[in-house]
Amino acid sequence: MTTQDLPSAFRHASPAPVTMACDRLLVFGGPYSNLAATRAMLAQAKRLGFGPDEILCTGDVIAYCGEPAETLDLIADSGIQVIMGNCEEALSANQDNCGCGFDAGTQCEVLSVQWFNFASGQVNQDQRHWMADLPRQVFVEIGGRKMLATHAGTSSINEFIFASSSAETKLAQMVAADVDGMITGHSGIAFAQVLSSRLWLNAGAIGIPANDGTARVWYAIVEEKQGRIDVQIRSLTYDPSPSIKAMDERGLASGYRDSLSTGLWPSMDVLPQTETRQVGVALDEVQLKWSLRKS
């Protein structure tokens, strides 16, 4: 596939897409300036035996929490593959908001002003250059399958695609990109769906819990096993108290600080009705077997 084959939103993307070829992949999204969670995630990946070339982060390294520069340095030094999120796009371009696409006046928009201004004041020019150089797409070849990893979807870097979002839209994006599956993040709640034999995987986020009333955060493993692909969505339990302390000390005593312990989001402006009904309901881990696509 060339960039000419990609949907229009990506045709002029720079730098060029990257390809990862591996037998298994650990994916996580949304470190969100949460240094303690990022440390815990990387330690867990090491415990599970994943090397840096088998780990993918779907972006938004910097967002709501109190240690943006430290979290970015940890991720950059880890050597893992990172995709540009809307937060990296906005910060690297010196924009004045996070680019999440929140509607004006919503709670999400009000909260984003606080953390974005703080984060923008913390990152240096080298870190902005690192963010600017991140690819917007990574192709993942695993078990004979070709997957496209992006921050949110193929239409834009900040579209919110949830489990309840249109299956037709997800399938259309995968067909248009000519891939067997998608790997995404951005919306903050992990899920995996097989749609007409194609996989849509959102690996969730490690920086803020999944609005399920627990302080757990989420990641995914995609692994070739005996001619099929096993997909797991796993929870990660860590101690958020250092990140809560950092937010208090740095003037970010917002609803996001409370989320780290309550597991509930401070605002549900972006949530569809289905996900709103599931707020506070503890999520289960997921194991899904993805069989070969029928041609």
Q: Under the criterion CB under 5 A, does residue 86 sit at the interface with Fe ion? A: yes
How is the beta sheet containing 217-225 ordered, strand by strand?
Answer: 81-82, 55-57, 24-28, 217-225, 228-236, 286-290
Instruction: Report the nearest approach of Fe ion to the CB of residue 61 (Å).
Output: 10
Please choose, from the candidates 36, 119, 35, 20, the residue with its C-alpha nearest in 3D space to the C-alpha of residue 70: 35
Task: Select from 105-113, 182-190, 248-256, 265-273 the region that touches Fe ion (CB under 5 A).
Answer: 182-190
Beta strands per DSSP E along the chain: 18-21, 24-28, 55-57, 81-82, 138-142, 145-149, 181-184, 191-195, 198-202, 217-225, 228-236, 286-290
Residues 6+ apart with CB under 8 A from 199: 145, 147, 180, 181, 182, 192, 193, 229, 231, 290
Q: Under the criterion CB under 5 A, does residue 216 sit at the interface with Fe ion? A: no
Q: Among 145, 170, 186, 234, which residue sits at the site for Fe ion (rule: CB under 5 A)?
A: 186
Q: Which is nearer to Fe ion, 87 or 147 (CB)?
A: 87
Task: Select from 11-19, 54-62, 120-128, 195-203 the region that touches Fe ion (CB under 5 A).
Answer: 54-62
Q: Tell me the number of residues near Fe ion by CB under 5 A.
A: 4
Task: Select from 38-46, 70-78, 185-193, 221-229 the region that touches Fe ion (CB under 5 A).
Answer: 185-193
Q: Which is nearer to Fe ion, 162 or 242 (CB)?
A: 162
Instruction: Report the nearest approach of Fe ion to the CB of residue 238 (Å).
Output: 21
Q: What gap in Å lies between CA 209 and CA 201, rounded to an integer?
A: 18
Task: Select from 6-14, 52-60, 194-202, 253-261 the region that touches Fe ion (CB under 5 A).
Answer: 52-60
Site for Fe ion in 8-37 (CB under 5 A): none
Amino acid code (one letter) for 74: L
Residues 6+ apart with CB under 8 A from 4: 11
Q: Among 34, 54, 60, 118, which residue sits at the site for Fe ion (rule: CB under 5 A)?
A: 60
Residue 277 three-state SS: helix
Q: Among 66, 68, 85, 204, which residue sits at the site for Fe ion (rule: CB under 5 A)?
A: 85
Taking residues 131 to 170 in sequence order and writing x for each that binds Fe ion by CB under 5 A, - otherwise, the string is ----------------------------------------
Instruction: Report the nearest approach of Fe ion to the CB of residue 217 (Å).
Output: 15
Q: What gap in Å lies between CA 171 and CA 159, rounded to an integer?
A: 15
Instruction: Read off the tokens for 94.
Output: 């010196």
Instruction: Report the nearest approach of Fe ion to the CB of residue 173 (Å).
Output: 17
- Paired strand residues for 289: 230
Q: What gap in Å lies between CA 201 and CA 192, rounded to an integer?
A: 4
Residue 220 — φ and ψ, nearest 5°? -135, 155
Task: Select from 43-51, 104-112, 129-137, 181-189 the region that touches Fe ion (CB under 5 A).
Answer: 181-189
Report the residue number whose CB is nearest to Fe ion: 186
Q: Under the criterion CB under 5 A, does residue 207 sit at the interface with Fe ion? A: no
Binding site for Fe ion (CB under 5 A): 60, 85-86, 186
